[in-house]
Structure 1
């Protein structure tokens, strides 16, 4: 029996990766650390902001202090908010799926994005309050593929719904190899969507689909 569903955010609910890329370049290019869209896809996709900045400085052979990292993350967060203020479109079917689950099963969100990136978009989509818990990059020390964020999401749902949430009977909805590794490392099954990677890269998922359009709660209950 399906116990709970936990959604990733970027690449599952909205296609914010090009917007994150734009925000990173606004901050990094003036420092001589900019990179191409293909490099972003190959090297940075799946990183949270903290690890993305660390990797950019490492690749550029430049030191990065904790204070500088904190300042860069704040600048990037502001750049991202400016970019998304014009509106962001959700992936087909995802808003309907979230609304069909909300209130019927424990529902979480587990993202490598900052909470300040996520809240304005959930508000735009009318999904504020839809999730029982949100785990964001602000709250964990290690980003995906480390399972820390999914473990925390499960622990919080277990606290809200005592005795009802077994990770082995719960599903994560993900779009990246790092996300799949994080979720399975925390003991969850994964429904993967080919929004960011081709199906052959999404190994470890119990099912891979091209879109969440047409996927409903009953379809999730039938996953192996």
Structure 2
């Protein structure tokens, strides 16, 4: 039985990556670093989940011998850059820089109307979630979601399944009762490792990723309804049952009787 929908944020709820990219470059310029990320480079860097992790990964790319020194100068610089970037991103989102992707709000409302729960599982920070959903849904956006997993309470980033495992535990639901929505290979790996069937809606930054284990890959959610989703889950379970039945039984382990 389908009881909950779990959504990633960046790239899934909204095509936010271009705004994130502009915010990173704003931070670099403000701090006078001389760094600039173009779209091809940022697309590559998105393989690293988490803004701070992405910054540190890039810094090590351009400075392979980078080492932390006493006092944590590298860590502090990364934190400052991320703070500047986040403030710029929040300002842009609040000004209406992006909207939710097609079909997202309709699917969420249909789920709530039918008594399903909603949740969020993301590697982004709480302030980024709030900025997007406060603008898209309204000041009461938090009341729509039974559980929220984010960078503050699930520090192990995707493709690690921690954030999905936390959300499932918070909702007290089995993964077979839920469907995840993602846009990237890291997100798909994370959700799949937690046992979740996953619908993928790629963004322009993730269209080249491998989504072979997804439940479905769709251009967006505008044509998806809950009836289809339930049918896909039934078909998935039937396929898994068939494959399980075809597996040869394990041979008993031999041993010498004593």
Is this a same-fold pair by TM over 0.5? yes
Higher-Rg member (1/2)? 2
1:162 is aligned to none
Q: Distance in 2 between matches of 1:35 and 1:18?
A: 11
Equivalenced residues, count: 218
2:17 is aligned to 17
Q: Is the 8 A contact 2:150 2:163 kept in 1?
A: yes
Q: Distance in 1 between matches of 2:4 and 2:100?
A: 22
2:178 is aligned to 170
Q: Distance in 2 between matches of 1:90 and 1:167?
A: 25
Q: Is the 8 A contact 1:57 1:63 kept in 2?
A: no
1:191 is aligned to 199
Q: Distance in 2 between matches of 1:66 and 1:60?
A: 16
Cα deviations by residue, 1:121-173 (Å, 9 ceiling, x for unpaired): 21111260211111111222211111111111111111xxxxxx111332101
CA 180–46 in structure 1, closer or farther in 2 if over 3 Å, else same? farther
1:28 is aligned to 28
What RMSD over aligned residues (CA atoms) do the two structures have, in Å?
1.9
Does residue 220 (structure 1) correspond to residue 237 (structure 2)? The answer is no
Q: Is the 8 A contact 1:169 1:189 kept in 2?
A: no
* Structure 2 gap segments, 5+ residues each: 69-73, 237-258
Task: Report the Cα offset of residue 200 of structure 1.
Answer: 6.5
Cα deviations by residue, 1:33-67 (Å, 9 ceiling, x for unpaired): 32211111122256211211111211121446333
Stretch of structure 1 that moved more, 88-97 or 134-143: 134-143
CA 143–200 in structure 1, closer or farther in 2 if over 3 Å, else same? closer
Does residue 108 (structure 1) correspond to residue 119 (structure 2)? The answer is yes
Does residue 157 (structure 1) correspond to residue 159 (structure 2)? The answer is no
Q: Distance in 2 between matches of 1:200 and 1:180?
A: 10
1:124 is aligned to 135
Q: Distance in 2 between matches of 1:198 and 1:63?
A: 35
Q: Distance in 2 between matches of 1:47 and 1:28?
A: 19
Task: Report the Cα offset of residue 198 of structure 1.
Answer: 3.0
Q: Distance in 2 between matches of 1:169 and 1:200?
A: 26
Does residue 203 (structure 1) correspond to residue 217 (structure 2)? The answer is no
CA 101–199 in structure 1, closer or farther in 2 if over 3 Å, else same? farther
Stretch of structure 1 that moved more, 30-39 or 3-12: 30-39
Q: Distance in 2 between matches of 1:46 and 1:216?
A: 32
Q: Distance in 1 between matches of 2:67 and 2:20?
A: 23
1:85 is aligned to 94
Task: Report the Cα offset of residue 217 of structure 1.
Answer: 1.8
Task: Report the Cα offset of residue 199 of structure 1.
Answer: 7.2
**Secondary structure in structure 2 of the residue aligned to 1:13:** coil
Q: Distance in 2 between matches of 1:191 and 1:90?
A: 17
Q: Is the 8 A contact 2:12 2:181 kept in 1?
A: yes
* Structure 1 gap segments, 5+ residues each: 159-164
